[in-house]
Amino acid sequence: MSDLLERLRGRGWRMTAQRRVVAEVLDGEHVHLTADEVHARAVAKLPEISRATVYNTLGELVSLGEVLEVSTDQRAKRYDPNAHQPHHHLVCAQCGAIRDVHPVGNPLKDLPDSERFGFTVSDVEVTYRGVCPNCAAA
Amino acid sequence: MSDLLERLRGRGWRMTAQRRVVAEVLDGEHVHLTADEVHARAVAKLPEISRATVYNTLGELVSLGEVLEVSTDQRAKRYDPNAHQPHHHLVCAQCGAIRDVHPVGNPLKDLPDSERFGFTVSDVEVTYRGVCPNCAAA
DNA sequence: CCCGGCGAATAGACATTGTCTAAAGCAAGC
DNA sequence: GCTTGCTTTAGACAATGTCTATTCGCCGGG
């Protein structure tokens, strides 16, 4: 969204064609892409963009809190543009499809002090695993 | 534990020095080692053990349900010998230390049907993140 | 409107983690 | 002690990510 580009410009981002393209890719489809998938789509719009730039830009977007990094499998990190609404993930164990979900309740409350071992717990990440309708049908 | 070796033998495992060493490493310290850490400790006991064997053996132990694979960061997988009691993890965002924790409540119940998108949800993995006492003191 | 400084992009080497293969080794039953 | 075929081995390969030195080009000052 140009919203995103505006916010970034406001934070002193130097605007370049490459960064614009990466932002467009993330904004265009609300899915969970890997860095290399982002790169592939960026290349389609701007053939000379390099892999390092995509990685750098994604890293910056994560630091700025505009995009979330999620690791639902232990292969590639995925990037979730839905950073402004807290949510968790539901992953198909067979095809890897990912859906954003919003469980009720607050799992942070479910961790008693006696189970915190002196840690300052600030965040919790919940990943549900199962089989999606497509894979169940097959 | 020889318990573990007995169970494995009972399942038709051919017993080799390499497998014994990997089992000993996992059993010796109840921590969460990466595959390469397991390999390093295995080499200390059996210098000629190869990396592939450690990876293979770990994979077999996981398939047999004797060890759990956990991915608390998106770097290396870690192996948790505490496979027979369900639990979740608390990770230090700074040093990466991992503790097993047992939250109250069942997060599976917190996911309403309307948020399941037709998936058959079978499992949930909860990772708490925070700062451990050591890192907080530093 | 043009320049120059410095932030950003590039290509490609490098690092880490994990997988695969073909050949040699060895556990276990006979 | 043989034989069988499961295991191990070394190293190549693959996937993902990081780093570096160099070149590029955005944008504020003139």
pLDDT in tens, A51-101: 999 999 999 999 998 999 988 877 899 999 988 888 999 999 888 889 999
Top CATH class, A88-137: alpha beta
Distance B117 CA to D6 C1' (A): 44
CA angle B63, B64, B65 (to 5 degrees): 90
Task: With CA atoms as reference, report the closest residue to B71 among A73, A92, A98, A80.
Answer: A73
- Residue B60: CB partners within 8 Å, gap ≥ 6? B13
* Chain A residues touching residue B121 (CB < 8 angstroms): 90, 128-130
Q: Residues A65-73: contacts with CB within 8 Å, 24+ apart?
A: A66/A4, A66/A7, A66/A8, A67/A26, A69/B74, A70/A32, A70/A98, A70/A125, A71/B71, A71/B73, A71/B74, A72/A32, A72/A96, A72/A98, A72/A127, A73/B71
* Residue A132 in marked binding region: yes
* pLDDT > 70 fraction of chain A, expressed in percent and rounded: 99
Average pLDDT over residues A30-59: 94
Sign of CA pseudo-dihedral A61, B77, B108, A136: positive
Average pLDDT over residues B106-124: 92
Work out whether strand A120-131 and strand B33-34 pair parallel, antiparallel, or are unpaired.
Answer: unpaired
Domain boundaries, chain B: 2-80, 88-137
* Strand C and B40 CB separated by under 7 Å: no
With CB atoms and an 8 Å threshold, state whether B132 touches A121: no
User: How many other C-beta atoms are found inside a 10 Å radius of the C-beta of residue B63?
Assistant: 9
Average pLDDT over residues A104-115: 90
B2-80 CATH, one of 3.90.420.10, 3.30.1490.20, 1.10.10.10, 3.10.180.10: 1.10.10.10
Q: Does A63 touch chain B (CB under 8 A)?
A: no
CA angle B115, A113, B28 (to 5 degrees): 95
Within 58-117 of chain B, which residues have Cβ less than 7 Å from strand C?
59, 75-77
pLDDT greater than 60 at residue B2: no
Distance from CA of A15 to the nearest CA of B (A): 30
Q: Do domains A2-80 and A88-137 have the same CATH topology?
A: no
With CB atoms and an 8 Å threshold, state whether B111 touches A131: no
Nucleotide nearest to A48 (CA to C1'): C10
Q: What is the pLDDT of residue A119?
A: 95
Nucleotide nearest to A55 (CA to C1'): D17
Task: With CA atoms as reference, report the closest residue to B95 among B69, B68, B73, B120.
Answer: B73
Q: What is the pLDDT of residue A75?
A: 85
Q: What is the pLDDT of residue A85?
A: 85
Q: Tell me which of B106 and A39 has the higher pLDDT.
A: A39
